[in-house]
Amino acid sequence: MKQLIKIGKNHKWIFFLGIGFTILLSVSRSFIPKSIEYVFDTLLGEDVPNLPVCAIDLVYADDFKTHLAGVAIGLALFSLLRAAFMVVNSVAKAHFSENIARDLRNKMYSHLQNLSYTYHNNADTGDLIQRSTTDIDTIRMFFQNHVFNIFWIAGLAVSVIYQMVKIDLFLTIISLIVLPVTVGISIFYFKKIEKIFTEVEESESRLTTTVQENLNGVRVVKAFSNEQYEIDKFVEKNNEYKEKSLRMYYKMANYWSTSDLITFTQYCLTLVIGSYYAINGNISTGQLIAFIMFVQIIVWPIRNLGRIVAEYSKTTVSIARLNTIFDVEDEYVDNGTDKRKIDGKIEFKNVTFKFDDSSENLLDNLSLTINPGETIALIGKTGSGKSTLIKLLIRLLDYQSGSIEIDGVPIAQYNKKYLRSNIGVILQEPFLYSKTVQENIGIT
């Protein structure tokens, strides 16, 4: 919850606007059964009116037809007012959730841009894409639909239970006696389903990676007539994703069927006992109808606690997946500040370098000097470290010992972006952006 609050705090005024109208809608929902009770007990019977005086003054008339019409018009106007509340509430929820999704996408994209070359060299691109799209969309949907539903249920519970207690305390207790069972099942379901959601997310990530790698290497696949192998690999990943998704839906089906059984049992129990009370005169006919409506109003939102719990578990998994990326320090944590004019004298002094996954040095005490304006060629077999020299020069990689200097200044003292903007590099693997030829050349 701390993570969710941290994400949403930049748009708190929209959040509180949505919360305010959500509570207004939930509280006002409990007034409708009271109007039905008023019709049955006051208009058709002789009981004392149980509506607020201001409401009675608006609808009261001496003759029955005009009085009934006044109640109907009052309900229609009240419904229009609630509809206006609903529009404002929906707009506020949409703005809040979309702003959060936009901020998360911007933050994720910016953070990925600033992560080190080594990180990207080892990461699965498809997995990063999946986290930047599906996981963020899961968080967006939770904010838009379920965060506000928590306040909807809370407001509804307080207002409806208050009205039910005014009718009959014992009947209220009977009606809500299975509520702790429903909440307990929801908590149990949450603990069971969280691991499955993680497995589904990881399976989808592997599927996305397979698609991404195949599309990037489609020329190689066609050149070696390897289409069927790639199709079989995709089918395998797709079947794995399907099986894990079906397992998740089976769990959800078990939860919803159990929840429905409990809910209908509770509803029927209230109907039977309430009818007995009405026959014996403990409550009026209008109160029985209103009470049944109250139960119907509160039972289904409380039943949806399970859906909120399920979506919450999915959201926590998605946030955890995003945090594994956000927790990685970007490469500019270790950055110089020097932006002096560069003339171009490059010196490697006893430079030693090895990759993290290797025990042998790729470069061992290498020294060389390149003067401004001088053209040189580095010749060697594949894997001898030619490209690595360039990556060390522009600080995509960092050496273990020795020194690399430009104009007598160690490259660690230069600002990384400034350093790279002064060095032109044409990489071995060509990559074209969706831009003009001139713009692609300009990038290098």
Q: How far is it, in rounded angstroms, from Cα 26 to Cα 439?
A: 56
Same domain for 20 and 121, yes or no, is yes
pLDDT digit string (tens) for 132-166? Answer: 888 899 889 888 888 888 888 888 888 888 888 88
Name the residue with tokens 């289904």.
Answer: 300
CA nearest 16: which of 218, 151, 206?
151
DSSP assignment, residue 412? G
* 50/137 same-domain check: yes
Same domain as 288, residue 151: yes
Q: State the pLDDT at residue 205.
A: 80
Q: What is the CATH number of the domain that holds 392?
A: 3.40.50.300
CB 284 within 8 A of CB 41: yes
Please give the helix or strand (H or E) that residue 349 lies within, else none.
Answer: strand 346-353
Phi, psi of 241 (to 5 degrees): -65, -40
160 lies in the same domain as 222:
yes
> Which pLDDT value is given to residue 27?
85
Q: Are 129 and 212 in contact (CB under 8 A)?
A: yes
Supply the DSSP string of 202-270, one letter for each residue: HHHHHHHHHHHHHHHTHHHHHHTT-HHHHHHHHHHHHHHHHHHHHHHHHHHHHHHHHHHHHHHHHHHHH
Q: Are residues 324 and 351 in the same domain?
A: no
Q: What tokens were used for 317? A: 């998994």
Q: What are the Cα distances from residue 137, in Å, to 54, 141, 142, 311, 313?
A: 46, 6, 9, 12, 14
Domain range for residue 320?
2-332
Q: Exposed e or buried b for every residue in 209-229, given b needs 16+ CB within 10 A?
A: bbebbbeeeeeebeeeeeeee
> 218 and 74, same structural domain?
yes
The CA-based angle 376-381-385, given to 5 degrees, is 65
- Residue ranges in the chain modelled with pLDDT below 50: none
Are residues 190 and 78 located together in one domain of the fold?
Answer: yes
Work out the end-to-end distance of the chain between its first and last CA atoms, rounded to an integer number of angstroms. 45
CATH number of the domain encompassing residue 168: 1.20.1560.10
Domain end call among 332, 364, 396: 332
Closest by CA position to 321, among listed 189, 151, 95, 139: 139
Are 114 and 11 part of one and the same domain? yes
Backbone φ and ψ of 49, nearest 5°: -55, 140
Number of domains in the chain: 2
- Are both 266 and 362 inside the same structural domain? no
**pLDDT at residue 371 in the model:** 92
CB 259 within 8 A of CB 306: yes
- Per-residue burial over 343-368, b if 16 or more Cβ lie within 10 Å, else e, is eebbbbeebebeeeeeeebbbeebee
Question: What amino acid is encoded at 280 in this protein?
Answer: N
The rounded radius of gyration (Å) of the Cα atoms in the chain is 33
- The answer, as to whether pTM is greater than 0.75, is no
Distance CA 78, CA 72 (A): 10
Give yes or no: residues 285 and 420 share one domain. no
What's the pLDDT at 118?
84
pLDDT of residue 242: 92
Could you give the 3-state DSSP secondary structure of residue 361? coil
